[in-house]
Structure 1
Amino acid sequence: MTPRPPRLTALGAAASLLVGGLLTATPAAQAADGGRPDAPGNAVTGQSTPAITPTPQSVRTRSDRVTISPSVTLVTGDTSDEPSVKVVEAALRRAGAQRIVRSDRAGGSGLTVHVGVSAALADQHIEGPDALPADGYVLGVGADRIVLAGRDTTGTYYAAQTLRQILPRQNHPGAEVDGLAVRDWPGTALRGVIEGFYGTPWSHEARLDQLDYYGEHKMNIYVYSPKDDAYLREKWRDQYPAEQLAQIKELTDRAVQRHVEFTYALSPGLSVCYSSDTDAKALVDKFQAIWDIGVRTFAVPLDDISYTDWNCAADKAKWGTGGGAAGAAQAYLLNKVNKEFIATHPGAQPLQMVPTEYYNVSATAYKKALAEQLDPNVLVEWTGVGVIAPTMTVAQAKAARTVFNHPILTWDNYPVNDYVTNRLLLGPFNGREKGLPGELAGITANPMIQPYASKLSLYTVADYSWNDAAYDERGSWLRGLNEYAGGDARTEKALRAFADINYSSALNKQEAPDLAGEFARYWQSGDADRLTSVLRDLGNAPGRLRSSLPDRGFIDDSGPWLDATESWATATRTALRMVEAARAGKGAQAWELRQQLPALVAEAKSFTYTGLDGHKVPVIVGNGVLDGFLDKATAEHDRIIGVSGRPTASTSLGTYQTNTVARMLDGDDSTYFWSDGAPAAGDQVTVDLGRVREIGGITLAMAKPGSTGDYLHDGVLEYSADGQTWQQLTAFSGKPDVTATVPAGTKVRYVRARATAGQTNWLVVREFAIEKEGGAVAGGPPAAAGSALRAAADGDLGTVYRAARAPEAGEALELGLGSARSVGSVTVLQSAGSEALADIQLRGTDGIWRTVGALDGPYTRVNATGRTADAVRLAWRAGSAAPQIAELVVG
């Protein structure tokens, strides 16, 4: 077994957080001098202060400096250990030291570095760490020495990590390091990660790498709880095979070296009989086997199980039924383990548990039983108000502590992505109120299935949990990108572009904030050169990351998303070129680019990875931003050439996962819009037809199999020409399918379904279909299977009239205009490669057809200024191929 360094453990500090108190920095620590004797505390000053992560509580520059000499004397003290010394030695060598001599006293010449020697701070006039909380430290640079002094061995290790960041990197001695005084301590006792997601467990190598990362970022707990380790859940009674047990031992040893508490979490709830002495013994025996390889921290998660169905009749006989009975049964088992295992093993840290009701602060019989019967020194894990809590406040943490009557360790479900396996969540930790860590025993973040990609978000978790008062989510995120890119500007730029389009989450609704801002700027300013450069950089980012990012595991984790990014960048650049061509009057070029987009989008959506169950999971990047730009670009192109375009949808409601409002307009009844919450009175879904026009029937199809109650239970259908003044068409209540027809001749652009009362069910809209009147298409040749004549003039360039055969003599395709009107132009858009031949003709008020032009390739636009007509037609010429008409546009 690897020797464990003596330490005042953070878990031991957390265990003292009982009903009467919370862990905070002591007044002495808060007021302590960080540098000069006359300096106020808790400030960060000095323009040359180096970037340190997590953000320290107090950093002060000094007027003196030290020089990295060729030979450095290293003196160790009471709170040093071998891991700390190794970090310091490595940092000194990178800074140019050529020889490091370990000694029990300062050397005669050259730089001396004191590791774990508080007394050496006196010559720097810096107060020692005695008043600091556990894991706190003081680092002094100046007065011809460097001093690292921790409150305990972990504090000294953290001082070493800070020194690692501030020393320069060069291959020769002589570097001068500005004087500095750092006085630092954590904002909460426990800070780290719980591997608790569903899906492909991390590899052993990835876990070792994670432990290294935690140590570097001053996180001190790792909870081993992968849902798909059978020996934690389904086979919890069984001992591990020797090979797997050896891996857990290696993880434990690495954790000790990195000053991380390896926590073993056994989940017996699927089959345990709480009253069974045999099962209690099996649990203790399993813990004993893990203890024997060096683990000292244990947890019993009882989440994601049913407590309405007992696993044995004895439990029902002993406790009865209901939530209170379940709470009492769980407390009984946990107290037994606490007494028979934790209490009998000196050095064991406080037991942790995850309650079955882990996601709210509501008072229940279950929580009451735990509060009253569970041993008071057991830490209770809690996810906030919600399984994935978008916000977490001080008031909520206090409420959780009150309702559970135990110290609270948060299981924060970010950046976990097992519920959105098609996405990477690379944005910062946010939505957590300042002051929250001080109310908690600690914070553990549940990461993604992708371990290396999780580091970008975990960097910000570490920053917040260490010093929430100074935490700035955006600044922390940007610093994390810089660190992860190895400080290389081009790689950092590429990483930021990629992380930006994977930014949003349940904690942060901002999707691709950088790119979305660039798109908005383009639509406002028309600066195509700037946006072209942005999109070029986005397309080049995956290649740069693949060639230059230091952490190669990130590339493996992110491969399909990197591929998708390249393809989406190509599609968006093409869309931009299309808009610029259309605005410049280059209609043929714009139409050629317009026709390339469907294939480019299909390619961008084609990338997948293989999940744990072997299924292919399509990946998503820039959801609603990249595809949103394409939608807006195609709408702009279509507007310029006079096409109303396909209808668009909007809503006042949030969206559940990827079930966007566009799905209610796709003509596919098996797809749907799904809100992420219950509609309130006034909430609505709206269809924009693109221009004012006559319409016919309206069909609103809501709910779906499995969610038959997810519809507007009370609402109205309304229409408007301007989006401001609305007319009610019909009211509805208690039915998921609604149909109506507007009065003949009514001009409409917008149609909406609006809730007139609040409800508890969410909303599903499978289809919101609106029939368009006017513009009837007739003639021939007949359409091929899967196509229709009306596609030639339906306002949607994505649909194409494809003839089943070549035209016969005398055939024509005719579009009625409803009534005689002035015609300025006729534009005909054919599919690429179509070789149809036809005269373009207008029918005047005298009933005579007159030719105004002829088809000329995929894009034809003829001037008809001064003509009046009530119909237009394509009179097919002899020898024409079967026509493929995307749109016949009369301007």
Structure 2
Amino acid sequence: MHRTRTTAATALAVALAVIPLAGMSGSSGAAAARIADAGDSPGAAASVSPTPQSVHDRSDHVTITRSVTVVAGPGTDAPALALVTRTLKDAGARHVVRAGRATSRDGQLTVYVDGAGAARTLRELDAGGAGGLPADGYALAIGAGRIALAGKDATGTYYAAQTLRQLLPHSDRPGARVRGTAVRDWPATPLRGVIEGFYGTPWSHQARLDQLDFSAEHKMNIYVYSPKDDAYLREKWRDRYPAGRLAQIKELVDRARARHVEFTYALSPGLSVCYSSDADVEALTAKFGTLWDIGVRTFAVPLDDISYTKWNCAADKARFGTGGGAAGAAQSQLLNRVNREFIARHRGAQPLQMVPTEYADLKASPYKKALATRLDRNVLVEWTGVGVIAPTISVAQARQARDLFGHRILLWDNYPVNDYVSKRLMLGPFNGRAPGVPGRLAGITANPMIQPAASELALHTVADYVWNDRAYDARASWRDAIRELAGGDARAERALHAFADVNYTSAINPHQAPELAAAIDRFREDGRAGRLDGVLRDLRNAPAVLRDRLDSRAFVRESKPWLDATRAWGDAARDALRLIEADRAGDTATARQLRQRIPELVKTAKSYVYVDMKGKRIPVVVGDGVLDTFVADALAGHGASRAARTG
């Protein structure tokens, strides 16, 4: 079973002189931006995801000129400036020139990034300033021939640049007109991101680099390195990394910093640590020291998925006694020493994170009481919700977790992780988390699938929720995620939608293939076989379309057995539909041929396997409970009609 991590609670109460979208439900991502406050046209703001807290169209516009001047404030974030420059060139500008102040050349577009010029322009364009915003917040305005963006901090400026990237068009020549827009935006919770915390094949180095890029584009700011099958995190936690492995981690740290993502290193000593051992404390802090030297500034000590009824050394039993309370006291002592002897002595270190052994419930216990009373107050405690995979999480539960553990809570959300059911892809949206939960937490990290590229569909929706939970709509965000992954290719988007629909179900999305199931229900009601056959044909052809047209070759590669199974189930389901029609028409010869052929198609559909890191062959499932049931019902119906004819 995969084990968890969590994100912690802190409320954001911000009074801002803007038109908020936070109270609007029923829209997300691009959809929510369409409910902007003024204007009869959605304008460019319709493309912004995650949904800004406040966005409205203006009645004016700007034109992307051949030359653009960028005026930046002193100390403006270099990655943000680089992104602004690249975005302007992608929009058609031939020359982007940095200047200390605006030029007087008529008609030339000027872009202000931070500094006095940006502050003045934002006020003039009714976007306010960045001063009153929470951390990572920003303001952006497009209008009256100017663009201005500014962040509360460097990360806020970078996020403003990411929003500008979405608002400007892609063009190979200057002259594009961009609708005026004013945005004022900030996140719902401080920490937002991904924890690679599953069992099974760890992600590749390239997949992690790609994830950091994806996180930045979606305004997620934390990546926790905690793959359960990295021996240097668990069984060999005392050992130094080989030089090559450490160099790879440094590359990840550097990429994360350039993308405004906090790389968190999580060391799990619980399988063998002796809590009362000075040598083990020194080994743990020494290991952290090697990571500090390559740039890591955030550390975690997960103590999940271990026994606390058995000690790893006799000294712990003698010192702490037995039972959950003793385990909580021992873990608190270890963590406090790490916190005081390493974190506190390293300027710039972020708060220590920990995963408790009891991480998946809200039951009072001696263990939780020990953590609440003994663990240093500034340590973040991770929690998964009620259950390793919580079907729902409410505001009341988040509040109760903070009270029970006595610390800020970082939610380790086990979605879309599939290590416990590796026969499935989890391609449905983030669901079941109530509005208001992020504001009670220090943050939310999502545990993804073994398949990194395929995880992006769900992670897109996670990013939408954790940035602006009040505007979040799971289905709308899911459609946006499909559109983004399809890269603007309408055929690829349609195929990806069909494929994701038959890989939809999970603990938080209990209904499998909701759109296909609805199409089958309509057929059962109205008997219109042609319409259902069109749906099944699209499903059957979806794998070939994705292989041919989807830019993400990693997605295609990772999904291979599920793509193969989808094609085969599409064949079986279409023949099952023909069987039903043949029975209705009394065409016994055709029905007999189909009845003989369908079982072999089903056998083929069930033959595809996922091979795990240990070589185990695991049959994959797609559309289970929908496709297989439809085929089985068709065969049973044929048998019944045949019996009726011969009886």
TM-score normalised by structure 2 residue count: 0.94
Aligned to 1:563: 564
Q: Bigger CA drift: 104-113 or 68-77?
A: 104-113
Q: CA shift at 1:197, angstroms? A: 0.2
Quick one: distance in 2 between partners of 1:459 and 1:473? 10
**Aligned pair partner of 2:52 in 52, 56, 74:** 56
Q: CA shift at 1:45, angstroms? A: 4.1
Query: CA 1:584–1:139 in structure 2 vs 1: closer, same or farther (change >3 Å)?
Result: same
1:83 aligns with 2:83: no
1:604 aligns with 2:605: yes
Quick one: distance in 2 between partners of 1:470 and 1:207? 29
Instruction: Give the conservation status (yes or no) of the 8 Å contact 2:126–2:182.
Output: no
Aligned to 1:103: 99
Query: CA 1:325–1:629 in structure 2 vs 1: closer, same or farther (change >3 Å)?
Result: same
SS of match in other structure, 1:227 = coil
Quick one: distance in 1 between partners of 2:36 and 2:211? 31
Instruction: Give the conservation status (yes or no) of the 8 Å contact 1:219–1:260.
Output: yes
Aligned to 2:172: 171
Q: CA shift at 1:307, angstroms? A: 0.2
> How do 1:238-249 residues align onto structure 2 when only pairs under 5 Å count?
238-249=239-250
> How do 1:734-753 residues align onto structure 2 when only pairs under 5 Å count?
none
Q: Deviations over 1:465-487 (max 9, x none)?
A: 00000000001100111111112
**C-alpha RMSD of the superposition:** 1.4
Q: CA shift at 1:612, angstroms? A: 1.0
SS of match in other structure, 2:454 = coil
> How do 1:508-527 residues align onto structure 2 when only pairs under 5 Å count?
508-527=509-528
Instruction: Give the conservation status (yes or no) of the 8 Å contact 1:64–1:143.
Output: yes
What is the letter of the counterpart of residue 461 of structure 1? V
Aligned to 2:270: 269
Q: Which has the higher strand share?
A: 1
1:618 aligns with 2:619: yes
SS of match in other structure, 2:289 = helix
What is the letter of the counterpart of residue 575 of structure 1? A
Quick one: distance in 2 between partners of 1:177 and 1:235? 55
> How do 1:860-875 residues align onto structure 2 when only pairs under 5 Å count?
none
Instruction: Give the conservation status (yes or no) of the 8 Å contact 1:116–1:153.
Output: no
Quick one: distance in 2 between partners of 1:160 and 1:386? 38
Instruction: Give the conservation status (yes or no) of the 8 Å contact 1:137–1:150.
Output: yes
Instruction: Give the conservation status (yes or no) of the 8 Å contact 1:25–1:132.
Output: no
Q: CA shift at 1:640, angstroms? A: 2.1
SS of match in other structure, 2:399 = helix
Quick one: distance in 2 between partners of 1:304 and 1:80? 44
Quick one: distance in 2 between partners of 1:88 and 1:600? 53
1:115 aligns with 2:103: no
Aligned to 2:310: 309
SS of match in other structure, 2:631 = helix
Quick one: distance in 2 between partners of 1:32 and 1:343? 39
SS of match in other structure, 1:183 = strand
Instruction: Give the conservation status (yes or no) of the 8 Å contact 2:360–2:388.
Output: yes
1:24 aligns with 2:12: yes
1:396 aligns with 2:397: yes
Aligned to 1:132: 133
Aligned to 2:374: 373
Quick one: distance in 2 between partners of 1:26 and 1:34? 11
Aligned to 2:196: 195
> How do 1:558-707 residues align onto structure 2 when only pairs under 5 Å count?
558-642=559-643
Gaps of 5+ in 2: 1-6, 22-34
1:210 aligns with 2:208: no
Q: Deviations over 1:608-653 (max 9, x none)?
A: 121011111111100110101001111222222226xxxxxxxxxx
Aligned to 1:410: 411
Q: Deviations over 1:704-759 (max 9, x none)?
A: xxxxxxxxxxxxxxxxxxxxxxxxxxxxxxxxxxxxxxxxxxxxxxxxxxxxxxxx
Count of residues in Structure 1 that have an aligned counterpart in Structure 2: 620
> How do 1:700-719 residues align onto structure 2 when only pairs under 5 Å count?
none
Quick one: distance in 2 between partners of 1:411 and 1:34? 29
Q: CA shift at 1:560, angstroms? A: 0.7
Q: Deviations over 1:111-145 (max 9, x none)?
A: 01112234232332431011100000001001211
Quick one: distance in 1 between partners of 2:272 and 2:363? 27
Instruction: Give the conservation status (yes or no) of the 8 Å contact 1:236–1:268.
Output: yes
Aligned to 2:427: 426
Quick one: distance in 1 between partners of 2:180 and 2:517? 43
Instruction: Give the conservation status (yes or no) of the 8 Å contact 1:34–1:126.
Output: no
Q: Which has the higher helix share?
A: 2
Quick one: distance in 2 between partners of 1:201 and 1:602? 31
SS of match in other structure, 2:453 = coil
1:455 aligns with 2:456: yes
Query: CA 1:44–1:228 in structure 2 vs 1: closer, same or farther (change >3 Å)?
Result: farther
Quick one: distance in 1 between partners of 2:209 and 2:334? 32
Quick one: distance in 2 between partners of 1:172 and 1:78? 31
Q: CA shift at 1:77, angstroms? A: 1.6
Q: CA shift at 1:107, angstroms? A: 2.2
Query: CA 1:486–1:311 in structure 2 vs 1: closer, same or farther (change >3 Å)?
Result: same
SS of match in other structure, 2:141 = strand
Instruction: Give the conservation status (yes or no) of the 8 Å contact 1:79–1:151.
Output: no
**Aligned pair partner of 2:69 in 54, 69, 73:** 73
Quick one: distance in 2 between partners of 1:546 and 1:90? 30
Instruction: Give the conservation status (yes or no) of the 8 Å contact 2:19–2:37.
Output: no
Q: CA shift at 1:78, angstroms? A: 4.4
Is the radius of gyration larger for structure 1 or structure 2?
Answer: 1
Q: Deviations over 1:15-64 (max 9, x none)?
A: 9x6xxxx331422x3x44689xxxxxx95444323221101100011111
SS of match in other structure, 1:83 = helix
Q: CA shift at 1:94, angstroms? A: 1.4
Gaps of 5+ in 1: 1-13, 36-41, 644-824, 826-889
Instruction: Give the conservation status (yes or no) of the 8 Å contact 1:500–1:512.
Output: yes
Q: Deviations over 1:134-187 (max 9, x none)?
A: 000001001211111110010011011111111111111000100000000000
What is the letter of the counterpart of residue 23 of structure 1? A
What is the letter of the counterpart of residue 71 of structure 1? S
Q: Deviations over 1:669-708 (max 9, x none)?
A: xxxxxxxxxxxxxxxxxxxxxxxxxxxxxxxxxxxxxxxx
Instruction: Give the conservation status (yes or no) of the 8 Å contact 2:127–2:140.
Output: no
SS of match in other structure, 1:461 = helix
Aligned to 1:94: 90
1:498 aligns with 2:493: no
Query: CA 1:617–1:180 in structure 2 vs 1: closer, same or farther (change >3 Å)?
Result: same
1:227 aligns with 2:223: no
Quick one: distance in 1 between partners of 2:562 and 2:104? 57
Quick one: distance in 1 between partners of 2:350 and 2:637? 63
1:298 aligns with 2:296: no
Moved over 6 A (4+): none
Aligned to 1:333: 334
Instruction: Give the conservation status (yes or no) of the 8 Å contact 1:79–1:153.
Output: no
1:358 aligns with 2:391: no
What is the letter of the counterpart of residue 607 of structure 1? Y
Instruction: Give the conservation status (yes or no) of the 8 Å contact 1:384–1:396.
Output: yes
| Identity fraction in percent | 64
Q: CA shift at 1:405, angstroms? A: 0.5
TM-score normalised by structure 1 residue count: 0.69
Q: CA shift at 1:336, angstroms? A: 0.1
Q: Deviations over 1:438-489 (max 9, x none)?
A: 0000000000000000000000000000000000000110011111111221
Q: CA shift at 1:195, angstroms? A: 0.3
Instruction: Give the conservation status (yes or no) of the 8 Å contact 1:238–1:286.
Output: yes
What is the letter of the counterpart of residue 229 of structure 2? D
Aligned to 1:152: 153
Quick one: distance in 2 between partners of 1:258 and 1:172? 28
SS of match in other structure, 1:453 = helix
